[in-house]
């Protein structure tokens, strides 16, 4: 069984997710946004107190609010680090973007591996499926666990909303196509965990999301 813990970090109120298999304690962090000492301590305390073993770090995309904790997590826990290749230019822009927002940052390391749709990874016994969902950024992926019907949608699909497309490399038509062909084909009872705000389900978003009806 997979458990999910959400932390809301940094000035952008970004959702950082820790997911783990309750039997093996294998663990992944999705989009670490911890940006200061207190947030890093909160994340560290949770991992250490629960005895879980951090195996993977995933960036669904590489906007600054989702990568502020990359260096800390990599240096503290030494996970395998995966990110979209088409978003690497955003890592290179990190210093400039942080300065424009007045945000302190630690430069992100480069990923160990690129996220691709054919990746064969598991958390414990649970298979992970990587769905290419560009539009908010050129390289964004959503992460889906089919057996548990859990989907981490980054900044692609939110509760009753969608991701912005006015930032670096955004494309509205591409985003809508990604949602309709990549996410809305999932089961209606699949739970989405977005990069900001509250969770929802695929079925609920089909019915009431004003951008999709």
Model pLDDT, residue 169: 87
Q: Encode pLDDT of 110-138 as tens digits.
A: 999 999 999 999 999 999 999 999 999 99
Say yes or no to pLDDT of 12 above 90.
yes
Say yes or no to pLDDT of 105 above 90.
no
Partnered with residue 15 across adjacent β-strands are 8
Say yes or no to pLDDT of 94 above 90.
no
Say yes or no to pLDDT of 7 above 90.
yes
- The answer to whether residues 196 and 12 touch, using CB atoms and an 8 Å cutoff, is yes
For residue 128, give the H/E element and its range: strand 126-132
Domains within the chain, CATH numbers bracketed = 2-208 (3.60.15.10)
Q: Encode pLDDT of 146-168 as tens digits.
A: 999 999 999 999 999 999 999 88
């Amino acid at each position: 069984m997979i458990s999910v813990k959400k932390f809301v970090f940094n000035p952008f109120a970004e959702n950082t997710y820790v997911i783990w298999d309750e039997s093996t304690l294998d663990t992944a962090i999705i989009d670490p946004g911890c940006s200061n000492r207190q947030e890093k301590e909160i994340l560290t305390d949770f991992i250490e107190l629960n005895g879980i073993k951090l195996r993977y770090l995933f960036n669904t995309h590489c906007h600054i609010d989702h990568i502020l904790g990359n260096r800390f997590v990599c240096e503290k826990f030494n996970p395998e680090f995966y990110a979209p290749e088409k978003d690497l230019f955003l890592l290179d822009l990190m210093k400039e973007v942080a300065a424009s927002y007045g945000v302190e940052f630690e430069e992100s390391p480069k990923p160990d591996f690129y996220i691709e749709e054919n990746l064969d990874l598991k958390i414990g016994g649970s298979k992970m499926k990587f769905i290419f969902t560009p539009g908010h950024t050129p390289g964004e992926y959503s992460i889906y666990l089919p057996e548990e019907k859990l989907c981490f949608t980054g900044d692609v699909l939110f509760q009753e909303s969608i991701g912005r497309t006015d930032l670096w490399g955004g494309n509205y038509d591409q985003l809508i196509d990604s949602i309709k062909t990549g996410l809305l084909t999932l089961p209606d009872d699949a739970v989405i965990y977005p990069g900001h705000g509250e969770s929802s389900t695929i079925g609920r978003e089909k019915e009431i999301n004003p951008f999709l009806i």
